[in-house]
Amino acid sequence: MSKKMLIVDDEPDILKFFSTALEQNGFIPVIAEDGVEGMKKVIEEKPDLILLDIMMPEKGGIKMYSELKKDEGLRSIPVVIVTGIWEGAEMKGHVSVPEPEGHLQKPVEPNNLIKTIGKILA
């Protein structure tokens, strides 16, 4: 059975790029354009992994990530932070929240995306 990947990003080009790369590798992409929609999709779709941008309108990636990891029923879903600003320090101030399962620096090469997902889901 194909694994379902939730992509949460406010950039239409990124959503399309990731969706295409995931589909070509046998995954089922589900998209959300911000953290508010992302949380709804997590509950509705029960993804196997979440690709999460940091800088978004409405609810940003850090807030969504924090909510996910504090929720008993959702915290086991692996998250890959995908951003152009990763310094490893984004989670400071959210001390009770564990580090994400992975992170990718934008721009992301399709091979790196698929390799990272494969390692996490293995």
The 10s digit of each residue's pLDDT in 96-114 is 667 899 989 989 999 999 9
Q: What is this structure's pTM?
A: 0.91
Taking the C-alpha atoms of residue 106 and residue 122, their distance in angstroms, rounded to an integer, is 23
Domains within the chain, CATH numbers bracketed: 4-121 (3.40.50.2300)
The confidence score (pLDDT) of residue 99 equals 85
What pairs with residue 4 in β-bridges?
Answer: 28
pLDDT digits (tens, 9 = 90+) for 50-86: 999 988 888 888 899 999 999 999 999 999 999 876 5
Sheet containing 4-8: which strands, arranged edge to edge?
Answer: 28-32, 4-8, 49-52, 79-83, 102-105
Taking the C-alpha atoms of residue 99 and residue 83, their distance in angstroms, rounded to an integer, is 15
Beta-carbon contacts of 24 under 8 Å, excluding residues fewer than 6 positions away, are 110
Taking the C-alpha atoms of residue 31 and residue 13, their distance in angstroms, rounded to an integer, is 12
